[in-house]
Structure formats: structure tokens, C-alpha cells
Amino acid sequence: MPEDNSTTPRPDVRSPWVIDTRTLGRRPGSSREVRRDVPVETELGVPGVISVPKGENVELDLLLESVVEGVLVTGSAFAPTAGQCSRCLDPLSDEVELDLTELFAYPDSSTEETTEEDEVSRLVDDLVDLEPIVRDALVLALPQVPLCSDDCAGLCSVCGVKWADLEPNHGHETIDPRWAALVERFDESPAGGPEEKA
Ligand SMILES: [Zn+2]
Ligand SMILES: [Zn+2]
């Protein structure tokens, strides 16, 4: 690597996240569509809460455009999600979709020279590595409070049963703790009690 002072590691061409832009050429205005299903090898998100599970695919539907400063990647990423409803704790499955816009600067462009390494993505040997960008964007796009449905009523705070499974008039008699002791004392025939006096 003679004149490459960049610290960005060279992307692995075999990775499905990596796109070789050489066929695009450097003439501003030329473009190429890229559609790919990229298998998820490490679960993305918060396991048990909401995530794109390992083994699922991230669908990428992208347009690569040659611009003066580099290669502009726009398009969308789509993936199925799985997790747990934060109100009723039922398992849920959903999907996440997001728009992507990312400039990958040419190594010798003024963008490359006037920005820090971590501000703008770089092309390394004409390769675009989408993995860090898409992973970060997907994780950010996941809901903070996943719900099985927007109007999920959650659980009864007393018995912990799902409201969806309870009678409409479900409720619990609440007894003032000062009376509770009296009720126990005067309750002479506890149904199913441990001892019945004969
Ligand atoms: Zn729910
Ligand atoms: Zn209840």
C-alpha cells in the first residue's frame, strides 16, 4: 500500500455487504442499481427485546451514482424483526425499513481531504462497504418500545393476566388493609380452607 495513508481497512470483496464500483466508472452521472439479500450473521439489535434475528436477510435495494466526490449510495434496506411486546410480553414479529443516503468519497477527493476519517465513508480500492452503515441505521430504526399492536392493552397490574384474555368487567376487589385483618378474623367458613371444624 504505497501512498494510501488511510486507516480504513480494505473491505473483503467476498462479503455480500461489499460492492465493487469499478464497473460504474468515474464519470459523474453514471449509475447502477444493486439489489441484494444479505444474510444476517450476527443478530442486530437488542436480543429478547427487538432485533433482526440471525439467519434472516437484509434486503438492499440501492442506486449507486458516480458523483464528483465519489460514489453516492441511495436506496432502502428492509429486514424482518422479532422481539417481545413491552406491554403484554407476547412474542412479536414485525419488519423494519429505512432509507439510506451515503457518500463514499474517492481517496483523492477534496471531501476526503477536508473531512475526518469517521465523518465520511471512504472508497477503498473502489470498494463500498455497506455493512457498518446499514447495521447502524437498522439498529437505530428499531422501535424503542416494541408493541404487538399500537393499541395493546398490556397486563392487569394486579393479576398479571393479559387484558385481551380477561372479561371486559375484570377487576379485583380492593380491601383497605386496615379492614383486611378484620375480614380474616370474622370469616368463619373459608371455602376450601385447610381445616374445617366438624
Ligand atoms: Zn402486546
Ligand atoms: Zn387482574
Higher pLDDT, 188 or 120: 120
Q: Tell me the C-alpha distance between 69 and 102, whole Å.
A: 12
pLDDT at 192 over 70: no
CA 9–ligand 1 middle distance (angstroms): 43
**With bands split at pLDDT 50, 70 and 90, how would you rate the model's confidence at 2?**
very low
pLDDT at 149: 93
CA 111–ligand 2 middle distance (angstroms): 61
Q: For residues 81 and 52, is the Cβ–Cβ distance under 8 A? A: yes
Residue 160 C-alpha from the chain's centroid: 28
Higher pLDDT, 115 or 39: 39
Listed residue (98, 93, 59, 62) closest to 79, CA to CA: 59
pLDDT at 190: 52
CA 97–ligand 1 middle distance (angstroms): 21
CA 82–ligand 2 middle distance (angstroms): 28
CA 43–ligand 1 middle distance (angstroms): 22
pLDDT, tens digit, for every residue of 35-86? 999 999 999 999 999 999 999 999 999 999 999 999 999 999 999 999 999 9
Q: Amino acid letter at 36?
A: R
The CA angle 155-96-78, to the nearest 5 degrees, is 155
The three three-digit cell numbers of residue 22, written as one number: 469499478
pLDDT at 6: 52
- pTM confidence score: 0.76
CA 166–ligand 1 middle distance (angstroms): 14
Q: Tell me the C-alpha distance between 48 and 89, whole Å.
A: 10
Length in residues, the chain? 198
Q: Tell me the C-alpha distance between 46 and 128, whole Å.
A: 27
